[in-house]
Amino acid sequence: GPVAETFRVIQGAMTEEYVRSTQGVFQFELSGDGGGTWYIDLKTKGGSAGFGKPPVTADVVMSMSSADFVKMFTDELKPFMAFMSGNSSIIGDMMLTLSLEKIQ
């Protein structure tokens, strides 16, 4: 589905340098189609992304619909706007979420 595809793209876009400069782990609690718990690890060697809980404790946990998540990474929705609209919640390091925009 679109969520899994988005995570495949993210995984492919990761570079050592990006992981080194970000040093953050993101957990996504997605509702709706293709939802569930997903993660982007930009801290552990080389980085990783996929379904399930991250291998280490997340710095940021975001809750949103899977549709909004896909929009966020196809650049139709800035992460910050998603939270301002009240359709998403974020727990943790807000500044780290801005670094997600670099991977889009």
Among all chains, which residue has been given the structure tokens 């991977």? 103
- The DSSP secondary structure of the chain, one letter per residue, reads -HHHHHHHHHHHH--HHHHHHH-EEEEEEEESTT-EEEEEEESSTT-EEEESS-SS--SEEEEEEHHHHHHHHTTSS-HHHHHHTTS-EEEE-HHHHHHHTTT-
pLDDT tens sequence across 3-39? 999 999 999 989 999 999 999 999 999 999 999 999 9
Comparison of pLDDT for 60 and 73, the residue scoring more: 60
Comparison of pLDDT for 72 and 60, the residue scoring more: 60
- The CATH superfamily of 2-92 is SCP2 sterol-binding domain (3.30.1050.10)
- The model carries a pTM of 0.88
**Residue spans per domain, the chain:** 2-92
